[in-house]
Amino acid sequence: MLFETLNRLVHDRVVSHEESISAEHGAGQLRRDELKHYKSPIELELMLRIKQAIDPNQLMNPSKLL
């Protein structure tokens, strides 16, 4: 619970400065569920559609966002 609390505080602070922690390596599995809090539904839908267009059979990094 401490990790989740600190993680949310840090992310909220970073987002308040219009920044991102993920950078070039993406959100990763650890932060995947948090994207709903920091990304709009349109952004999430675009990520999903890009993944589906590039890898429709989920052969590359199955179960990963992008």
Range name among 4-8, 32-36, 47-51 with the lowest pLDDT average: 32-36
Q: CA separation (Å) from 23 to 2, 26, 28, 52, 59? A: 24, 6, 11, 22, 24
| For residues 51-60, average pLDDT | 90
What pLDDT score was predicted for residue 62? 80
3-state helix, strand, coil in the chain (%, to 5): 65, 0, 35
Structural domain containing residue 28: 1-65
Q: How far apart are alpha carbons 66 and 51 in whole angstroms?
A: 5
Each residue's pLDDT tens digit, 23-48? 555 666 667 777 787 788 998 899 88
> What is the number of structural domains in the chain?
1
Is pTM beyond 0.85? Reply is no
